[in-house]
Amino acid sequence: MPSRRVVRALVGLSALAAAACGGSNSAPQGFFISIRNMTFTPLSLDVPPGATVTVLNDDGIGHSVTSEATANAFTPGGVDVVTFDTGVFTGQRSFTIPSSAQEGTVVPYYCQVHRNTMVTPTGTITIRAAALPSAPPSGGSGGGGGMSGY
């Protein structure tokens, strides 16, 4: 049977190893849009130029995240050099914001399938060089990441 000193040393080393690896509860960092219960979360997401946005569709039915030039136009388009369209999907899709996107550019988006029938019909992505990634929020697999508000 190991001595208490050995057990303490092993426990301490295990805790140190877990902390160095981010622990077992660390989630991936990034910029996320979640679709759940016909709702986009967050409604406003700050993203730096060149970043990848991951969209997590938790509804089990097809949705898209499609940029538009004007909010509530429900027509594909873009602002400045920023355009994106995940296409209709279930599960997860990603798109990348161009590295040449200008600071402060606000790009509205919507779902091509459900347009204005979504609980939250549109959201926005704002280009902010200082935006920081974060983990998807708990209680679902989506959302979070550099939010600027709702």
Q: Measure Cα distances from 8 to 4, 11, 19 in Å.
A: 6, 5, 16
The pTM (predicted TM-score) of the whole model is 0.75
Length of the chain measured in residues:
150
Cα radius of gyration rounded to whole Å, the chain: 20
Q: Is the pLDDT of residue 134 over 90?
A: no
Answer yes or no: is pLDDT of 6 > 70: no
pLDDT number for residue 146: 42
Residue indicated by tokens 């622990």: 23
Does 149 score more than 60 pLDDT?
A: no
Q: Which two tokens stand for residue 96?
A: 């990348």
Q: What average pLDDT does range 62-76 have in this prediction?
A: 97
99 pLDDT more than 90: yes
DSSP state letters, the chain: ---HHHHHHHHHHHHHHHHHTT-TT----BEEEEEETTEEESSEEEE-TT-EEEEEE-SSS-B--EE-SSTT--S---BTTB--B--SBSEEEEEE--TTPPTT-EEEEE-TTTGGGSSS-EEEEEE-TT---BPPPSSSS---SSEEE-
Which range among 4-13, 51-60, 76-85, 133-142 shows the weakest confidence by mean pLDDT? 4-13
Question: What is the arithmetic mean of pLDDT over 141-146?
Answer: 41
Q: What is the pLDDT of residue 143?
A: 38
pLDDT tens per residue across span 7-58: 344 434 444 444 444 444 566 899 999 999 999 999 999 999 999 999 999 9
pLDDT at 137: 59
Percent of residues, the chain, with pLDDT higher than 70: 73
What's the CA gap between 101 and 81, in Å, rounded? 6
What are the structural domains, with CATH classification, of the chain? 27-149 (2.60.40.420)
In terms of pLDDT, which residue wins out, 143 or 84? 84
Instruction: Round the average pLDDT of the chain to a whole number and report it.
Output: 82
